[in-house]
Each structure stands twice: as C-alpha cells, then as structure tokens.
Copies of this chain bind each other. A is one copy, B any other.
Amino acid sequence: MPSPDLLDRFAAIVGTGNALRTDADVEPYLTEGRGLYRGATPLVLKPGSTEEVATIMKLASETKTPIVPVSGGTGLVGGGVPRAEGQDVVLSLARLNRIRDVDPVANVMAVDGGVILADVQKAAEEVDRLFPLSLGSEGSCRVAGNLSTNAGGTAVLAYGNMRQLCLGLEVVLPTGEIWDGMRRLKKDNTGYDLRDLFIGAEGTLGVITGAVLKLFPRPRGHQVAFVGLKSPADALKLFEFAAGLCGTALTGFELMPRIGVEFTTKHIPNVRDPLSSVHPWYALIDISTSDAEETAERMIGTLLETAYERGLIDDAVVASSEAQRKAIWHMRESMSDAQKPEGGSIKHDVSVPVSQVPDFMAEAEKAVLAAVPGARICAFGHLGDGNIHYNISQPVGADKAAYLARWREVNAIVHGIVLKHGGSISAEHGIGQLKRDELASIRSPIEMELMHRIKSAFDPAGIMNPGKVLK
C-alpha cells in the first residue's frame, strides 16, 4: 500500500484541490455502469497538464506505485476500476479537456486526451466537418478512453473504429517520458507503428494525453429506414445488397429482434414502434451521402423497392424528418437500457465474419435456450460489422441473483460458438478484468507471450493499470 507520505508527494504534484482522498470524493471512481466491479483507492489524482502526468508517472515508477488511468469512466469490462485491495492510485484525465486546434483544410483536430467525445463532435460541426465516432455514452466518455478501448459504435461501417479515426498520439510512458507522436499525416511509413500499439491497450502501456483526430466532410444527404423482416438471413441478404448499392454511403446497418422493440417501447419514454405491423426481426438502415439529399433519397428508394421485390422485407418506413431519424436511432441505442426493468441480463459483445451472423444466431439461440429455458434473447447490433451485442434477459419471474450467477457459464456457451465461427469474444468493449483470463485461455501461447513481452518492454516495473488485459 502507498504510505501517507507517498500519497502526499503525489498530491503535491497536482495541488491539494486536485487530489481526492475522502471516501465520498473517491467513490465515483470505484465502480462502473454495470456494477460488475467494485475497487478501492487511497487517492485520485486530477492532473492539469501532460507535464503533471509525466511527473506522476516518474514518481510512480521510482516508487513502484500502481497507477490506474481513468478517462470518462464509461467502460464496461472493469478496465478503469482500481483493484479491490486499495493499492492503486487513480489518475483521472478529466481536467485535460482542451481542444488544442482544429484544421478544417487538413481535416484534423488536435485534442487533449480527456476531452469529452460530444465536445469533439461539436467542434467538428462548428467548422462544417464530421467526427464520426458515435456511441451511447458520447456525452460523458472521453477520447483517451475511446482510444484505449479502440471504441466502435454505430458508424464503424463507413468510417471505421477509433483506430481508423486517429492520426497521432501523445503518450506519457510508465517511466514518465513523454512520447510526442502528435503527427497529422495521412501517410507516414517511418518505423514501427507505436500509435496502434497504444490504441486498444486499455491504459496498460501508457497514458494517452493527446490525440490528433481525423475529420470528414459533413454528409449532405441523410436517410434512415426501419424495416421489418423475417430472419437474420434475410437481413444479411439485404445488407449485402445495400452495401453493393450504397458503398461507403451505407453508414449504418443495425439488426434488432422483436423483443428489443417490445422492451424499448414498454420501458423507454417516448419510444414508439415505427411500424404498425409486427415482425420477428428489424433492421435500421442509415445512408449518408456526400453530394446531395437526392442521392440519399434515390438510394433508399432503390434499396427498399428492390428489397420488396426480392421478398427480403415485409414492411418499411423511411424517416421523413430529422426528429424521426433521431427517434429511430434512439430506439436502437436504448435497447440495452430497456432490458434493465426486465431483470438480470447476461451480456456478450461478440463478432463473427459478417457472412456467418445468421448461423451464429441460430446456433447460439439453440444452445442458450437448452441451458436456460425461458431465457429471453435480446441480440442486437451492428450487423454490417458482424458485431452482435448478444444480451440475454432472465426468464420471466426467475431469481435475478441466481440468474446472474450463471454469467460465466452462459458466456462459455456463447463464446464457444463465436470461436467456432472464427469470431471475437470482445468486438468493441475490450478485455479489462472481465475477459482477461478467458483471453489467455483462448489465444495461442505464442500470442500471449508476445503481448507479455510488449508489456515488459513498455512497462518494466509493471505499474501501468496492472491486472487489466494481461495477468
């Protein structure tokens, strides 16, 4: 445990006002949204500059004090929660929240690591540009966390994950040195790709204190359709056709089950079923075009007409206003929250090759229902990325705690089918604590060995977010 004297030395770096030590003050840093983890810490530091972060890491390195970097605290796998024993000092990036500069000609923006995602989106909008990363938590998550988890979200189909949206980084290394990789180049082949190593490392290789982000032209045309269909197989056929027709103008293709529509209309205020008829499955199709609204209109028209003709969809509605578009997206984005009043939900964030989504869904449903009769599968997500949030609400009337106690058992069933299809047990949420041991069990020894060697090369003292990703 860090001594009181050592804690004072850390506190002195940021000033007493930015060093939280009372139980009440540190409380918000001990848990995360789903309540799966509860940690402890004697100290939360809120540095105000990259240099302060560097000074903290130097002291941590000298004294072998474990540091847990925290960005927006919206993670879902325990990556930003200190360990329960209270030995970890928390380093919050919340005060590093400046937008450093915006260059709409070069289509780049430089930001501090702690800037809130919604502020990035807004700053891009102000210069008539788009920063496409979009997630449910965009009002509170911060860029360093988006980078450290290689965040995905709803626009990956057209724009890629956070990895694809970042040109450069500034990172404070575990030893306290600052790596200035704030490059703003589209092409730069000069040595090993350090940037992409820090991206997705979940704060185990360094603290991301700055980033250069890519901006895009703002789409001129935007259309959203909500369609009812028979099966994931038909949804896949529709996706394929849409991808061929629209190319990168296809900015979203989300699959949802009937039960998800029922949960959201029942539990989320102001959500209504956009269709009057009932269907076993639904897809949300989002099209954004660069040149003109008419192109988007023509695309969505051609798409739905052809889909009807081919019998791929049974009903469809095209949003006729921005408010309607938002309402349809809101239904999709509140699907996870809508499960809460229905009791316990065992969750999976998996991906398989796009072409194998229907098989995966069928096999997983069969296996899950065999293990947990009456379980209500609310599997929805980014079909176009092969990424399904395979969430399973408890049977009606079941005991919540007893149901949730089967989390690992159900995970093993679903992940087994995912791996059979060459899939990933964490498509976008990362490893953190939640999937750390499982990762080690499914990856080859040589892959784990390489990761451990990288960890040792960057963090020889083992003080950087210990126990996350790797044991």
Contact = CB atoms under 8 A, between A and B. Distances in A.
B353 A217 contact: no
Given A180-B444, A291-B247, A431 B191 contact: yes
Given A188-B351, A199-B193, A457-B454, A289 B247 contact: yes
B105 A451 contact: no
A219 B248 CA distance: 10
Contacts of A219: 247
A218 to B, nearest CB: 8
Interface residues of A, number: 93
Interface stretch (A42-50, A116-124, A266-274, A420-428): A420-428
A356 interface: yes
Contact of A447 (B194, B354, B386, B454): B194
Nearest to A288: B247
Interface stretch (A20-28, A31-39, A91-99, A148-156): A148-156
Interface stretch (A237-245, A328-336, A362-370): A237-245
A469 B191 contact: yes
Contacts of A173: 446, 450
A259 to B, nearest CB: 24
A352 interface: yes
A186 B351 contact: yes
Contact of A457 (B160, B196, B249, B456): B456
Nearest to A187: B427
Contacts of A197: 192-193, 196-197
Given A105-B236, A186-B386, A385-B187, A451 B192 contact: yes
Contacts of A149: 189
A189 B156 contact: no
A164 interface: yes
Contact of A189 (B177, B216, B236, B424): B424
A290 B249 CA distance: 8
A106 interface: yes
A385 B351 CA distance: 32
B188 A426 contact: yes
A387 interface: yes
Contact of A156 (B183, B187, B205): B187
A186 to B, nearest CB: 4
User: How many identical subunits does the complex contain?
Assistant: 2
Interface string A431-453: 10001000100011011001101
A40 B203 CA distance: 45
A302 B356 CA distance: 41
A228 interface: no
Contacts of A114: none
A248 B290 contact: yes
A77 to B, nearest CB: 9
A185 interface: yes
A249 B454 CA distance: 39
A106 B247 contact: no
Contacts of A310: none
A427 B355 contact: no
A246 B454 contact: no
Interface in A100-152: 103, 105-108, 149-150, 152
A51 to B, nearest CB: 15
A457 to B, nearest CB: 4
B194 A189 contact: no
Contacts of A393: none
25 contacts: A106-B354, A173-B446, A178-B446, A179-B446, A180-B444, A185-B352, A185-B423, A186-B351, A186-B386, A187-B385, A187-B387, A190-B431, A190-B435, A190-B439, A192-B469, A193-B199, A194-B451, A197-B197, A217-B243, A217-B244, A217-B247, A246-B290, A247-B249, A248-B290, A450-B457
Given A186-B354, A191-B439, 4 more contacts: A177-B446, A186-B386, A187-B382, A456-B457
The 6 A-B residue pairs whose C-beta atoms are closest, nearest first, are A247-B290, A105-B355, A196-B196, A188-B424, A453-B457, A106-B355
Interface of A: 103, 105-108, 149-150, 152, 156, 158, 160-161, 163-164, 173, 177-181, 183-194, 196-197, 199-201, 205, 216-217, 219, 236, 240, 243-249, 289-291, 295, 298-299, 302, 351-356, 382, 385-387, 422-431, 435, 439, 443-444, 446-447, 450-451, 453-458, 469-470
